[in-house]
Structure 1
Amino acid sequence: MFAIPIAFFLSAIITWPILAEMELFERFYAYSRAHEDWDLDELVLLIGNLTIALIFSILFQWRRLKKLTAEREMQRQRAEKNARHDPLTGLMNRRAFTSALEKISDPASRPKDRVIAMVDLDRFKPVNDLYGHAAGDATLQTVAQRLSDEVGSDGILARLGGDEFAIIYEGTIDTNQAERISRRILHRMEEAVEFEECRIFISSSIGLVKWNTATPCAEAVRRADKALYTAKKEGRGQFAWYDAELDRQSHARAEIESDLREAILNCDIEPWFQPIIQIESNTLTGFEVLARWNHKSHGQIPPSTFITIAEDSGQIGNLGLSILRQACLAASHWDPKLTISFNVSPYQFHDPQLVDQIKEIVSECDFDARRLTIEVTESSVINDFEVARAKLDALKNIGVAVALDDFGTGYSSLASLRQLPFDRIKIDRSFVTNIAAEPQNQKIVSGIMALASGLELDVTAEGIESSDDLSYLQSLDCSLGQGFLFEKAVPAKQISWLLESKWIDRHVDPLDRGIEPPKDLRDAG
């Protein structure tokens, strides 16, 4: 009689993990209907067997659920670790590093001075190119281990991505300690990395910043990045501290670069004109075109600043063409005997379209190309004389004269003169200003004048600022001159005043003739 309940009990234990509870009780109901003639003791025994089966089933399910919960917790912890740690090096990643910064700078905690270091590897890209990505990964792992050894428990170390690492020094650490650790890191990074049969050599640069935790985290990281940029700019393989003044200058430069494109489009950068004088007759022959930019917030920006930015940002070509177009348009209304000289940047000179662009501008402005002189520096032509010769010949074919600017400052001036078809040379102002008191400069200028005479070239002397400078150049029969002694550069709208006042009779002051200068020229002195 008991064989049937026991069999049912065993069947329930075996099948319980598979069967749903409803299905099991349906089986029990069908079984009980088939045995309606059971006695009370048999029913009690059956219920007892079912209770035991239920307990075993609950225990089984509990153990199974506990195992699943443990596996899910491990997966969660693994996912959290992967989300906060770099899988290659095991260090914190950028997300975890940012969280650590935010925790340290919690407003509830007292602000403290800490040091943040940004570490970036030098010459890392060639490692992947020469040895493969496996070698690159091994190098990064070695770097991470070396950084961990040097930083130890004194700081928080993270890999931000690529070959860039970051350190937050915990506790109180002064600048001397931070610099000592940085020197050790720089030294360790120069040690060879062993990979298979290769020895890989790299170096690193470090940017350091003192961080008061009251300062926003993003600003602290930005300052550390600026310090790192400074270290790389100064030669790599060294550390540099954040410099607020350099940062201010960098910010101003970034603002200028951002405004430069719009300024070019709107012709906010204008041509100014400095007179070029025939020294022997003291007459005006033309002007050199100089760029001037009156920025809306920075005021007058030196050409050396915005021209360098234009070259670095690839906008020098558009800037040069804009200035030349404005200059030709203004000069087209002047006396046809007056010429203009325009300096072309080395970057612009290498543009294959330069000659066509100049030809198009003089045509648009109805400006006689024979009144234009293009000035180039030796750095524009030194790399390939044949290409330079072809371009200079093309300019001369459309009627444009060419001059070698800043003569005497290069290292191959004679080769340039011998091989290239220049019409004129310009003596750099560094040799001319105060020449009467500089015997060495006198010898250099005398030699240049003798060379130019032998090659039948005109000479323009820049930087004439005193009557002594002028007298010495007159004694050498220098043909042309320009400088503050004659006039500073002026905007196009003041050329008429100059022509009417200063170049009608230079021996009579224009105010004595009743000719008053424009207000902006009076304000400029």
Structure 2
Amino acid sequence: MDLIPSKLRQFVAHVGVIPILFFLSAIVTWPILAEMELFERFYYYSRAHEDWDLDELGMLVINLSIALIFSAIYQSRRLKKLVHEREYQRKRAEKNARHDPLTGLMNRRAFETKLEVAGQHLSDADECFIAMVDLDKFKPVNDLYGHAAGDATLRAAAQRLQAEVGEAGAIARLGGDEFAVIFERGLDATQVERIARRLLHTMTQPFDHDGAQIHIGCSIGLMNWSADISGTEALRRADKSLYDAKTQGRNRFAWYDAELDRQSHERAEIQADLKLAIAKDEIEAWFQPIIQIETKTLIGFEVLARWTHHKRGPIEPSVFIEIAEDSGQIGALGLSVLRQACRAASNWDPSLTISFNVSPLQFHDPNLVDQIKEILTQSDFDAHRLTIEVTESSIISDFGVARTKLDALKALGVAVALDDFGTGYSSLASLRQLPFDRIKIDRSFVTNIAGEPQNQKIVTGIMSLAKGLALDVTAEGIESREDLDYLEGLSCSLGQGFLFERAVPAKHVAWLVDEQWSDWAKGPTEITEKVAVLQSKAS
């Protein structure tokens, strides 16, 4: 019995309402017209009034009615087709709004909605895990093989991700080569790690594209999501663990670590304060003495950066300099410190020099030479009293460009020194091709050299090389009388280290020159006895 209404509904949907109404009207009115003999009366009436052409008019009405019926059927079917097309486009737009068109996975918007829903059903007893997956070595794929290969690689990576995760979780492409997974099937941490290891192995297998084999990998950040944190925070923590996995060497997974996150947050705060500190010259130029070892006389200072944060207190240079390099602020930091140093040193004895280390990133700045020239002019500081120190990592990429820049510095009257000599892998090539005036032996070879036979051989070789090239040598990291005596026996010309003095601010340089260096002719024994008192006065 139920089949009849169903078939009627299908018939009405297929033909349309208007044609059916016309048809039903014809069925209803036909017996009435027949009963009233209207057609017969119409026929005789038209015969009686042939000059009115009523029969032609009647045929016209009938033909128009038939045409109207067919037109109604056509329009009804056309309308139905438009409705279906609109519904298809609506569903397609809704899918595109929530899915990545390249891989077919959920997009960021849909994933965040899913996180929100999952968080609402997450209880204290539940364990839910989130994974962030980022492809390693993906950028070279686009560079070497083109964007079509990159798209194919992303699709293949998404398929491998789906194959490994299976029904255990929902996957999304957040953008670029970054994916996210929320595990929803009651897995424990061990099972999640097992999936992560399989995925790491799978992603290292080459992809085939147009006869070429494409090699990538992936890094994974894992997060155990509890009910006391929001989905947004859980995603941030998973992203933080992904960053940790990448910094540890890539092609591995890492769990979220609250302590590392705290350090990262602290680092971000320092980075935010750094820009303002540079603008206000709050990162100060401090000065560590450089002496002539044979005569024990002061010849100059190495310029070092020191920062006393208004809330955190002193921040280690290794911390804020690394942050400055990573955030692109190292150039502004270096120029600020050099400007302060030149202004302070311009009032000192003209025989005293200053040495300033330029970071690799700052050395590659095409405006570096002009910036140094401007500082020298503004501070009225003699260029011949300045030594610019560069490391091998600054020059190794292109000796030709490095030579041009070093020649430009020397044309200003500035001396140039190769810093951390002995720690690089091309020191001899550097000395042979570039116009250095001095080399600095790294502190790792100098400190406790009297008790390290291997370091003694290395330093002896460096001294012989420097003598053959007519270069001055500065040994940094001298911390004991024994170290000083050994270096003096090798005829090392210059030295610096804690045995003589730590770095001090500019306002204490005059005190060092007047009070401390006058005793150096007596040797470091007498000076060592006064270090504690002098350091307390300097602070």
Report whether the alignment pairs 1:14 with 2:22.
Answer: yes
Report whether the alignment pairs 1:432 with 2:446.
Answer: yes
* Structure 1 match to 2:303: 289
Q: CA deviation at 1:79?
A: 4.6
* Structure 2 match to 1:20: none
User: Structure 1 residues 458 and 14 mapped into 2: Cα distance closer, same or farther (>3 Å)?
Assistant: same
* Structure 2 match to 1:312: 326
Counterpart Cα distance in 2 of 1:340 and 1:73: 77
Alignment RMSD: 3.6
**Pairs aligned (count):** 470
Q: CA deviation at 1:178?
A: 0.8
* Secondary structure class of the residue paired with 1:488: coil
Counterpart Cα distance in 2 of 1:108 and 1:446: 68
Counterpart Cα distance in 2 of 1:12 and 1:355: 90
Say which of 343, 349, 352 aligns to 2:357. 343
Counterpart Cα distance in 1 of 2:335 and 2:448: 34
Report whether the alignment pairs 1:323 with 2:337.
Answer: yes
The one-letter amino acid of 1:363's match is T
Contact 2:508–2:538 (CA under 8 A) maintained in structure 1: no
Say which of 390, 399, 403 aligns to 2:404. 390
The one-letter amino acid of 1:390's match is T
Contact 1:274–1:288 (CA under 8 A) maintained in structure 2: yes
Q: CA deviation at 1:397?
A: 2.8
* Secondary structure class of the residue paired with 2:336: helix
User: Structure 1 residues 274 and 229 mapped into 2: Cα distance closer, same or farther (>3 Å)?
Assistant: same
* Secondary structure class of the residue paired with 1:237: coil
Is 253-262 or 465-474 further displaced after alignment?
A: 253-262
* Structure 2 match to 1:280: 294
Report whether the alignment pairs 1:491 with 2:528.
Answer: no
Contact 1:501–1:510 (CA under 8 A) maintained in structure 2: no
- 1:379-418 alignment, distance < 5 Å: 379-418=393-432
Q: CA deviation at 1:341?
A: 1.1
Counterpart Cα distance in 2 of 1:150 and 1:270: 54
Q: CA deviation at 1:259?
A: 2.1
The one-letter amino acid of 1:461's match is A
Q: TM-score, normalised by structure 2?
A: 0.77
Counterpart Cα distance in 2 of 1:123 and 1:108: 36
The one-letter amino acid of 2:163's match is D
Say which of 167, 182, 200 aligns to 1:153. 167
* Structure 2 match to 1:233: 247
Contact 1:114–1:213 (CA under 8 A) maintained in structure 2: no
Contact 2:288–2:503 (CA under 8 A) maintained in structure 1: yes
Contact 1:154–1:169 (CA under 8 A) maintained in structure 2: yes
Counterpart Cα distance in 2 of 1:415 and 1:132: 37
Q: CA deviation at 1:242?
A: 1.9
* Structure 1 match to 2:107: 93
Say which of 495, 498, 520 aligns to 1:481. 495
Report whether the alignment pairs 1:450 with 2:458.
Answer: no
- 1:191-270 alignment, distance < 5 Å: 191-193=205-207, 200-270=214-284
Q: CA deviation at 1:218?
A: 1.0
The one-letter amino acid of 2:376's match is V
Counterpart Cα distance in 2 of 1:137 and 1:512: 70
Contact 1:111–1:214 (CA under 8 A) maintained in structure 2: no
Q: CA deviation at 1:107?
A: 7.2
Report whether the alignment pairs 1:368 with 2:382.
Answer: yes
* Secondary structure class of the residue paired with 2:181: strand
User: Structure 1 residues 272 and 77 mapped into 2: Cα distance closer, same or farther (>3 Å)?
Assistant: same
User: Structure 1 residues 108 and 267 mapped into 2: Cα distance closer, same or farther (>3 Å)?
Assistant: same
Say which of 179, 195, 206 aligns to 1:165. 179
* Secondary structure class of the residue paired with 2:517: coil
Contact 1:105–1:213 (CA under 8 A) maintained in structure 2: yes
User: Structure 1 residues 442 and 350 mapped into 2: Cα distance closer, same or farther (>3 Å)?
Assistant: same
Q: CA deviation at 1:391?
A: 2.8
Q: CA deviation at 1:485?
A: 0.5
* Structure 1 match to 2:482: 468
Is 401-410 or 135-144 further displaced after alignment?
A: 135-144
Counterpart Cα distance in 1 of 2:383 and 2:108: 59
Q: CA deviation at 1:112?
A: 2.4
Is 503-512 or 453-462 further displaced after alignment?
A: 503-512
User: Structure 1 residues 168 and 339 mapped into 2: Cα distance closer, same or farther (>3 Å)?
Assistant: same
Which has a greater percent of helix? 2
Q: CA deviation at 1:13?
A: 3.8
Aligned residues with identical type, % of pairs: 68
Q: CA deviation at 1:233?
A: 3.2
Contact 1:271–1:492 (CA under 8 A) maintained in structure 2: yes
* Structure 2 match to 1:303: 317
* Secondary structure class of the residue paired with 2:110: helix
Counterpart Cα distance in 2 of 1:369 and 1:475: 32
Counterpart Cα distance in 1 of 2:428 and 2:181: 55
Q: TM-score, normalised by structure 1?
A: 0.79
The one-letter amino acid of 1:84's match is R
Counterpart Cα distance in 1 of 2:498 and 2:295: 18
CA offsets per residue over residues 258-304 of structure 1, 9 Å max, x none?
22222111111111000111222222111111111112333222222
